[in-house]
Amino acid sequence: MAKADCKQCAGTGWVTGERDGVSSAIRCSCVAESRAEELEAQSQIPENYRHASFETFHLPHDNPTAQKTLADVMLAVSAYTRAYPDNNKPGLLLVGPPGTGKTHLAVAALRLLLARGYEGIFFDYQNLLERIRAGYSETLGSSSREAYRFALEIEILLLDDLGAHRVTDWVEDTVTSIVTYRCNHRKPLIATTNLTDPDIGGTLLEKTSLPGGHAYRTTLEERVGERARSRLFEMCRVIRMPNVADYRIRPHRHY
């Protein structure tokens, strides 16, 4: 839809241009801008990340090694968006400790794709599962009942904090069905997780308390199941975030 106050097309959505030496009517740029704004408004990106971009991603200038590593990570995520939709693997999995900027980079990637006219949606992993479970109740609204369909069919799905839910057979089956469907249909999945995996390396981060004050550490496979984990690695480029000072509290200076 054209912007009513557009000075170039006066709200018509068309401007006069030249193509192959012939004067013709072409779509005004405001149509794409309006579409991008509509897609972002529907994306359910949390308010805290509404302005997340690669330009606003903050690097630790007091730690040159971490700065370079994070800059390389940012470039890798940016490369994914530039290549889309012709990526070798349709998905992206950002793995690392809390506070390393995973969600910021994931949303930055999603927002760039929305700006290019692709449809996408942000879901917190735990909230998505709760909405899907609640959707089985006939007393709830259509938004809860449609959450599962959205997770399957939306062009680009962003799942934040993958694995952050108590494991049950229902959780494992639900996650596996979503990941498998998207993998089989080459539908992009951008995901973040605090959990790690033997194939990625690094320290296992997620701790679960046990009686007596003991704790054990869990892997991504233990939280989402072997089948979902296998599909994730099949469809996603895995990027490991460096263990740096908490992104959310360190001093912010632009890269």
pLDDT tens digits along 149-205: 999 999 999 999 999 988 899 999 999 999 999 999 999 999 999 997 888 765 433
Looking at residue 244, what is its pLDDT? 72
- The tokens for 42 are 């529907």
Specify whether 6 is located in the same domain as 85. Answer: no
Instruction: Reduce the secondary structure of 5-53 to three states and give it as a string.
Output: CCCCCCCCCEEEEEECCEEEEEECHHHHHHHHHHHHHCCCCCHHHCCCC
pTM for this model (two decimals): 0.82
Give the pair of three-digit tokens for residue 60.
């630790």
Q: State mean pLDDT over 124-135.
A: 92
Check residue 6 and give its pLDDT: 83
Q: What is the pLDDT of residue 10?
A: 73
Side-chain-facing half-sphere of 212: CA atoms under 13 Å: 3
| Residue scoring higher pLDDT (29 or 169) | 169
Whole-number pLDDT of residue 139: 58
Domain range enclosing 37: 1-41
Same structural domain, 110 and 226 = yes
Same-domain status, 34 and 130: no
Please provide residue 123's backbone torsions phi and psi, each rounded to the nearest 5 degrees: -130, 130
Beta-bridge mates of residue 237: 92
Q: Is residue 74 part of a domain?
A: yes
Average pLDDT of the chain to the nearest whole number: 85
Highest average pLDDT, of 53-57, 198-202, 217-221, comes from 53-57
- pLDDT at residue 209 is higher than 60: no
CB count, 10 Å around CB of 37? Answer: 14
Q: Side chain identity at 46, as an amino acid letter?
A: P
Q: Judge whether residue 207 has pLDDT over 60.
A: no
- One domain, residues 35 and 85: no
Cis upstream peptide for 97 (omega within 30°): no
User: Structurally, how many domains does the chain consist of?
Assistant: 2
Lowest mean pLDDT among 26-40, 124-138, 144-158, 197-211: 197-211
Residue 156 DSSP symbol: E
Q: Does 245 fall in a domain?
A: no
Looking at the domain assignment, is residue 232 inside a domain? yes
Q: In what order do the strands lie in the sheet with 236-240?
A: 120-124, 156-160, 189-193, 91-95, 236-240
Residue 248, domain member (yes or no) = no
247 belongs to a structural domain? no
What pLDDT was estimated at residue 137? 66
Q: Is residue 251 part of a domain?
A: no
Tokens of 34: 């309006």
108 touches 54 (CB < 8 A): yes
- The per-residue pLDDT for 130 is 92
- My answer on whether 202 and 88 are in the same domain is yes
Which has more pLDDT, 221 or 62?
221
Q: From CA 233, how far away is CA 215, in angstroms rounded?
A: 27
66: exposed, middle or buried (Cβ count in 10 Å: 0-12, 13-18, 19+): middle
Cα–Cα distance between 61 and 64 in angstroms, integer?
6
